[in-house]
Amino acid sequence: MMDIHEILKKLPHRYPILLVDRVLELEPGKRIKALKNVTINEPFFVGHFPHRPVMPGVLMLEAMAQTAALLSFAGAGAGPDSKSVIYFAGIDGARFKRPVEPGDQLVMDVSLERSRAGIYKFKGVARVGDDIACEAELMCTMRTVS
């Protein structure tokens, strides 16, 4: 549905913090499914952990947040060129259930639960295969920057 070239047009993030490689499914205003290929070349694996590389949980949450931002921009018809940016407003119920290692494909399913007064609430689940790696409720807000 959306390759890396389209993602780079929609998100202001760049290496090493861009954590979405491809959008697999998109229903604007409803849900999105995106993919992150996890490779041994990721800079965080140098220190987390040298003897057993594991993707930090906070980066799994960031990958879901970037996926949520792509859903928000798709629904709003906005993007970084229009001087809109999406910020985290909160995270609730974050649970980490499986380590994510080099060679895994992290698939993020994010759905919009509600949008009120510029605050978006999403439900996100990140999986490796059939196993849930991480899940959380994410709150974000879209702001115009000058």
User: Taking the model in full, what pTM does it have?
Assistant: 0.94
Q: Are 121 and 136 in contact (CB under 8 A)?
A: no
Q: What is the pLDDT of residue 134?
A: 98
Distance (Å, rounded) from C-alpha 120 to C-alpha 83?
18
- Measured in degrees and rounded to the nearest 5, phi and psi for residue 51 equal -85, -20
pLDDT per residue over 105-141, tens digit each? 999 999 999 999 889 999 999 999 999 999 999 999 9
Catalytic residue list contains 48? yes
Q: Residues, the chain, total?
A: 146
pLDDT per residue over 23-78, tens digit each? 999 999 999 999 999 999 999 999 999 999 999 999 999 999 999 999 988 876 65
Distance (Å, rounded) from C-alpha 1 to C-alpha 118?
26
Q: What is the pLDDT of residue 29?
A: 93
For the chain, list the domains and their CATH numbers. 4-144 (3.10.129.10)
Neighbours of 17 (CB within 10 A): 13
Helix/strand/coil for 57: helix
CA atoms within 13 A on the CB side of 93: 10
